[in-house]
């Protein structure tokens, strides 16, 4: 009887046979960036939640310059909910989209006080009920403030590297996240985002990726690299 040859099966755009390569990629990234961590400076879950909302369409460096002054006036959900809207907008103006961000921050703070007794909720379902909070923000808070690997943070760096490294063919962040969750062990999900972001900033940037110097090049198909 002749052997039937089948094509590799795909699930949500990911080759099922790629798990071994993904594991090797993770191990190499871990060695390359042993100090990788959340770049948003924070002292607790609430500060991280606010900083993450501010980081939309803004650099982490800019957010870190803004938050010390912001948290002096609104360092708790109660204080932030009471903060005058115009004062809040002025404090966060340089992060861009400040009116929408101020509305989200005040809304989330009020909901935390009214619905969760003043404590930032610790589940994905509860976090998603807060104004201005989607999966990315919830994953940041759960992974970095509560050490819960519920999902993978997918920002522009993570999405770009996931596609270039052949870990996904998707462009929608939620679908990219699903593919990464399929390939990588749950215990790595929070750190995976930090590692990919570090590599995206230092080597595999959007416009001029340094493929020759990249220590992942033997594992990388360089998809989407001109």
**Residues labelled catalytic:** 136, 155
Distance CA 197, CA 112 (A): 29
Phi-psi region of 143 (alpha: psi -120 to 50; beta: other; left: phi over 0): alpha
φ/ψ (deg, to 5) at 47: -60, -40
b/e burial code for range 174-189 (CB count within 10 A of at least 16 → b): ebbbbbbbbbbeeebb
φ/ψ (deg, to 5) at 168: -160, 160
Distance CA 15, CA 17 (A): 5
Cite the DSSP H helix spans in the chain: 19-32, 45-54, 60-73, 77-82, 85-92, 98-116, 124-127, 135-145, 156-164, 173-183, 189-202
**Which CA distances in Å does 93 have to 90, 103, 110?**
5, 13, 21
């Amino acid at each position: 009887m002749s052997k039937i040859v089948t094509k590799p099966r795909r699930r949500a755009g990911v080759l099922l046979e790629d798990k071994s390569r993904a594991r090797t990629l993770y191990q190499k990234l871990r060695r390359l960036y042993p100090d990788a961590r959340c770049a948003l400076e924070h002292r607790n879950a609430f500060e991280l939640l606010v900083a993450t909302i501010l980081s939309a369409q803004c650099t982490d460096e800019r957010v870190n310059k803004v938050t010390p002054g912001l948290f002096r006036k609104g360092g708790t959900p109660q204080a932030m909910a009471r903060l005058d809207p115009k004062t809040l907008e002025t404090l966060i103006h340089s992060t861009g989209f400040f009116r929408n961000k101020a509305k989200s921050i005040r809304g989330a703070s009020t909901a935390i006080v009214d619905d969760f007794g003043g404590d930032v909720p610790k589940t994905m379902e509860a976090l998603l009920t807060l104004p201005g909070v989607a999966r990315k923000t919830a994953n940041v808070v759960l992974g970095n403030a509560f050490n819960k690997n519920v999902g993978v943070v997918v920002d522009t760096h993570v999405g770009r590297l996931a596609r270039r490294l052949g870990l996904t063919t998707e462009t929608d962040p939620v679908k990219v996240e699903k593919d990464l969750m399929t390939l990588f062990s749950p215990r790595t999900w929070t750190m995976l985002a930090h590692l990919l972001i570090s590599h995206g900033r230092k080597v595999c940037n959007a416009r001029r990726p340094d493929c020759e110097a990249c220590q992942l090049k033997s594992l990388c198909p360089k998809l989407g690299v001109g």
